[in-house]
Structure 1
Amino acid sequence: MRFVLVRFYSFLFGLLLATSANGHIVQQLFVDFSADDAEWLAEIRFDAGIALPEMRADKEALQPKRQWLIDQTPDQHALLRKEAEKYVRECLTFQWVTPKATTPLDFTVSFPEWETSPPSFANPYTDLGFAYFSIQCLGNIPDTSGTLQVTLSEGDHPDYAFGYERMGLDRIVTAYPGKSQTLLSLNATPPTAQASFISLLDYGFRHVIPEGWDHVLFIAALCFLSFAWRPLLSQSLIFTLGHTITLGLAVTNFIPAFPPTLMAWTEIFIAATIVYVAVENLFSHTLKKHRLLTIFLFGLIHGLGFASVLGDKIRASADLALPLIAANLGVELGQITVIAIILITLTWAKNKPYFHKITKTASLAIASVGTYWMLERLIGLF
């Protein structure tokens, strides 16, 4: 039995430490999509941090700032445009689909920021001080009947979220690596509200599994004090309520966009919440009443982190309520999935005399990783 525990501890520590990273990893790019009877336009809000191959390969590099983009020389700007266009063309394939054939569509690429000299890079999504620029992909609609689809190539690419705000519609659909997504149907109308809701639901879920390791560790920490469905579900729901409130306030601009330094402190506080809950597990044996209030307050903090990744996608919708509900419902489903996996995995040990050793060791491992993240983010800030 000691051998089993050692293997379990080794696996747990290895898994948690493997998640530790402070680099700038782009999980999604947002695309403003519009179309008429003759043309379609996809304007990508492109993160300059993945423009060059060496930047994409460096997973530890921090997100470049807008000033860095401004300070580049004309030759460096030209290289950024060249490599960004090459990357977009490698990632995205547009095709016109009819019952008889699937035809790849050519498209032109332009860079609006460079239409003025010098380029200002003063687009709305540089408000936080990070380096972004627009890439416009323009193509023709070859026929009055058919379906416009986009295919995202397989590989380590960001998702592409297509929003229809410019067409006055509350729709968002997401293209994932290795999959195709319909952008216009046979009668040239955007996807339905149901498809948009499912896309946002899916994105909220993916923000927990498999992309949200800090979120996973926080929920996992809850499991190692109250190892039962009912208290865990209540904690998960109160946590979701907290981050729904702050996410809603952020996307409606009641909470202004945070500058980079304050956003960095938010990420540090998120790591601190993981440490707090995990350390509390080490010194508590039962669920105290104050725990729900603590989790609610921590949910408010995590909601600020959600706003940085979910905000643009929700703001692109004319009606904020439905996307906000869909995204947070997806997050809640992700949290419940984490809880279910842990409960099912450790059910065999629940009534064993050494079960408390497993929960304390798991909590210690989570606290260690949370502390590492907190220090790592502090170092990155200064």
Structure 2
Amino acid sequence: MNLCFRPTIQALVTFLLIFPLAALWGVSSGTPARAHEIRPAIVDLFIGDDGGVRLEMSLILEAALAEVGAEHADTDESPNAGRYDALRLLDEAALAAEFERSSARFLDGVRLMAGDQRIPLDVDSLDLDPVGDTDFARLSRIALTGQLPAGATDLTYSFDPAFGPSVIRVPDEQGANSYSAYLDNGSRSAPIPVEGALTMSAGQVFVDYIGIGFTHIVPKGLDHILFVVGLFLLSPRLKPLLVQVTAFTVAHSVTLALAMLGVLTLPGSIVEPLIAASILFIAVENLGTDRLTRWRPYLVFAFGLLHGLGFAGVLNEIGLSPAHFASGLVGFNIGVEAGQLAVVAGCFALFGAWFADRPWYRTRITIPLSLAIAAIAAWWVLERTGLVA
């Protein structure tokens, strides 16, 4: 057997051994968030004909009560991680009691404004799930209600960044989102008309989603960052790197579009372990060869299909407006690509420009970093399939 194909085959065997395990776990476990993953609060705003307003929130309540913060991608990074972990172990009655004690602080962090006038909100309902499998975060549902002041023409919404990021959505009469915005720094939404639909230009949506796509890679997409770094490590030369990145981009663009159109769906509990497995594959192959095999671009393309399904999970949470579906999707893809190119540029600036031609580049750069990536990815595979907590 040609030696240049052995690393690819070894890595492929690793991937194929992991695939059934991840698929079996995904079929049985649905699509919950991993225990330490920070997910945005999803908030639907309804405005009644009688002037009543209602916010229906789906969120990881424990992260909000612990004030983990929107600046973290993982709860373990927060100094309040201990309180978050303790809250996760509470049954629904105890968690409801904790929320009751903290309700004034929580309501202060949910700001609904009519011009410069704040709308007082009350808790209408609280729906909590049992503890269940503590390997995964549980979602809680909270409904808040208030009353528009006389003469109000529009509203703005904001969420205290100490509680984490949030997505504000305004459903239309058909249930589709006429407006959605991702807020992760406490900023206000655009003014939302009390009567009539909020209109956003295709250009505004395009620009907004470029930013969402970019931040999904840098700094929040550590798994996607490590995948791109793995591609760079084997061959920091521009031409082979561009071939791989192009294959990856085309692939994730295809599955992202298909998933958003509802043509292709796969549970996140299957996709996420397989994304981790794809990173492990790349790292293992880096350790076994010092050259780019002819099969690698095709395999990178296949892995890009998986990563595109992962990206779709983000957009599904935010909810693209049907009126600007194309501009939002294209903008998000461009943002993702810009994030990937930023990672490549960072790698090149750190060691590609200085050390790529050195005879020790492989032994001192490629192998140690690939070992580190392989270790992280292997842990993620175990974690995302529930084999470790």
Q: TM-score, normalised by structure 1?
A: 0.72
Q: In 2, are the aligned partners of 1:197 and 1:323 still within 8 Å (CA)?
A: yes
1:264 matched to 2:272? The reply is: no
- Does the C-alpha gap of structure 1 residues 120 and 223 become closer, same or farther in structure 2, counting only changes over 3 Å? closer
1:354 matched to 2:372? The reply is: no
- Once the two structures are superposed, the pairs formed by residues 14-29 of structure 1 within 5 Å of their partners are 23-29=35-41
1:336 matched to 2:335? The reply is: no
What amino acid does structure 1 have at the position aligned with 2:219? P
Q: What displacement does 1:373 show?
A: 2.0
- Does the C-alpha gap of structure 1 residues 351 and 191 become closer, same or farther in structure 2, counting only changes over 3 Å? farther
Distance in 1 of aligned mates of 2:172 and 2:197: 13
Q: In 2, are the aligned partners of 1:148 and 1:185 still within 8 Å (CA)?
A: yes
Percentage of matched positions with identical amino acids: 26
Q: What displacement does 1:298 show?
A: 0.8
What amino acid does structure 2 have at the position aligned with 1:299? G
- Once the two structures are superposed, the pairs formed by residues 217-366 of structure 1 within 5 Å of their partners are 217-256=226-265, 258=267, 263-314=268-319, 317=322, 320-346=325-351, 347-356=353-362, 357-366=364-373
Q: What displacement does 1:294 show?
A: 0.5
Instruction: Please say which of residues 175-184 and 271-280 is displaced more in the overlay.
Output: 175-184
Give the match for residue 89 of structure 1. Answer: 107
Deviation string, structure 1 residues 277-299 (Cα, Å, up to 9, x no partner): 11212222332331111111111
Q: What displacement does 1:209 show?
A: 1.2
Distance in 1 of aligned mates of 2:347 and 2:227: 13
Unmatched 5+ residue regions in structure 2? 1-33, 69-74, 131-135
Q: In 2, are the aligned partners of 1:24 and 1:63 still within 8 Å (CA)?
A: no
1:374 matched to 2:386? The reply is: no
- Of the three residues 37, 42, 58, the one matched with 2:55 is 42
> Runs ≥4 in structure 1, deviation > 6 angstroms?
185-188
1:172 matched to 2:189? The reply is: no
Distance in 1 of aligned mates of 2:119 and 2:366: 55
Distance in 2 of aligned mates of 1:137 and 1:249: 37
Q: In 1, are the aligned partners of 2:67 and 2:164 still within 8 Å (CA)?
A: no
Q: In 2, are the aligned partners of 1:51 and 1:84 still within 8 Å (CA)?
A: no
Q: TM-score, normalised by structure 2?
A: 0.71
- Once the two structures are superposed, the pairs formed by residues 50-129 of structure 1 within 5 Å of their partners are 50=63, 52-53=65-66, 57-58=80-81, 72=92, 75-76=93-94, 78-79=96-97, 82=100, 85-86=103-104, 88-97=106-115, 102-111=116-125
- Does the C-alpha gap of structure 1 residues 77 and 361 become closer, same or farther in structure 2, counting only changes over 3 Å? closer
Q: In 2, are the aligned partners of 1:51 and 1:83 still within 8 Å (CA)?
A: no
Distance in 1 of aligned mates of 2:192 and 2:386: 46
Q: In 1, are the aligned partners of 2:177 and 2:319 still within 8 Å (CA)?
A: no
Q: What displacement does 1:305 show?
A: 2.7
Q: In 2, are the aligned partners of 1:24 and 1:62 still within 8 Å (CA)?
A: no
- Does the C-alpha gap of structure 1 residues 35 and 199 become closer, same or farther in structure 2, counting only changes over 3 Å? farther
Distance in 2 of aligned mates of 1:83 and 1:218: 43
The root-mean-square deviation of aligned C-alpha atoms, in Å, is 3.8
Q: In 2, are the aligned partners of 1:236 and 1:332 still within 8 Å (CA)?
A: no
- Does the C-alpha gap of structure 1 residues 349 and 256 become closer, same or farther in structure 2, counting only changes over 3 Å? closer
What amino acid does structure 1 have at the position aligned with 2:326? A
Q: What displacement does 1:338 show?
A: 0.7
Q: Which has the higher contact order (CA 8 A, sep 6+)?
A: 2
Deviation string, structure 1 residues 234-285 (Cα, Å, up to 9, x no partner): 4223223323333333333333463xxxx43432221111111112122223
Q: In 2, are the aligned partners of 1:52 and 1:83 still within 8 Å (CA)?
A: no
Q: What displacement does 1:331 show?
A: 1.4
Q: In 1, are the aligned partners of 2:168 and 2:181 still within 8 Å (CA)?
A: yes
Task: Provide the secondary structure at the position in 1 that maps to 2:349.
Answer: helix
Q: What displacement does 1:378 show?
A: 3.8
Q: In 2, are the aligned partners of 1:34 and 1:42 still within 8 Å (CA)?
A: yes
- Does the C-alpha gap of structure 1 residues 142 and 184 become closer, same or farther in structure 2, counting only changes over 3 Å? farther
Deviation string, structure 1 residues 126-165 (Cα, Å, up to 9, x no partner): xx996442423434154355x633343343x322112233
- Does the C-alpha gap of structure 1 residues 120 and 275 become closer, same or farther in structure 2, counting only changes over 3 Å? closer
Deviation string, structure 1 residues 208-232 (Cα, Å, up to 9, x no partner): 1111111110011111122134433
Distance in 1 of aligned mates of 2:372 and 2:177: 46
Q: In 2, are the aligned partners of 1:51 and 1:87 still within 8 Å (CA)?
A: no
Q: What displacement does 1:78 show?
A: 4.1
Unmatched 5+ residue regions in structure 1? 1-21, 122-127
- Does the C-alpha gap of structure 1 residues 337 and 231 become closer, same or farther in structure 2, counting only changes over 3 Å? same
